[in-house]
Amino acid sequence: MPPAYRLHDLPPQIDPARIARLAGVEAATLGHHLSAGFADPGLAPVLPDRRAAGTAVTVQIAGPCSTLLYHAMDRVRPGDVLVIDRCGEARHACWGGFMAAVAAARGLSAVIVDGLVTDPAAIRAAGVPTWARGTAALTTRLLNLGGGFNVPVSVGGVAVSPGDAVLCDDCGIVVLPPDRLDALTDLALADQAEEGDWLARIAGGARLQDLVDIAAMLAQAGTEGPAAAGGGAHG
Q: What is the DSSP letter of 88?
A: T
The reported pTM is: 0.89
Q: Are 200 and 211 in contact (CB under 8 A)?
A: no
Q: Taking Cα atoms as reference points, which of 180, 178, 211, 171 lies closest to residue 31?
A: 171
The percentage of residues in the chain with a pLDDT greater than 90, rounded to a whole number, is 83
Residue 191, amino acid: D
pLDDT of residue 175: 98
Q: Taking Cα atoms as reference points, which of 175, 134, 138, 159 lies closest to residue 45?
A: 134
Out of 35-49, 93-107, 184-198, pick the least confident.
Answer: 184-198
User: What span, in angstroms and rounded, lies between the C-alpha atoms of 140 and 98?
Assistant: 13
Interval 13-72: pLDDT, tens? 999 999 999 999 999 999 999 999 999 999 999 999 999 999 999 999 999 999 999 999
Interval 68-80: pLDDT, tens? 999 999 999 999 9
Interval 126-137: pLDDT, tens? 999 999 999 999
User: What span, in angstroms and rounded, lies between the C-alpha atoms of 97 and 123?
Assistant: 5
What does the domain layout of the chain look like in residue ranges? 5-177
User: What span, in angstroms and rounded, lies between the C-alpha atoms of 156 and 44?
Assistant: 11
Q: Are 215 and 234 in contact (CB under 8 A)?
A: no
Write out the CATH class of domain 5-177.
Answer: alpha beta
- Which CA distances in Å does 204 have to 190, 201, 215? 21, 5, 21
Q: Classify the C-alpha dihedral 127-133-136-139 as positive or negative.
A: negative
Q: Are 139 and 92 in contact (CB under 8 A)?
A: yes
Neighbour tally for 37: CB within 10 Å: 21
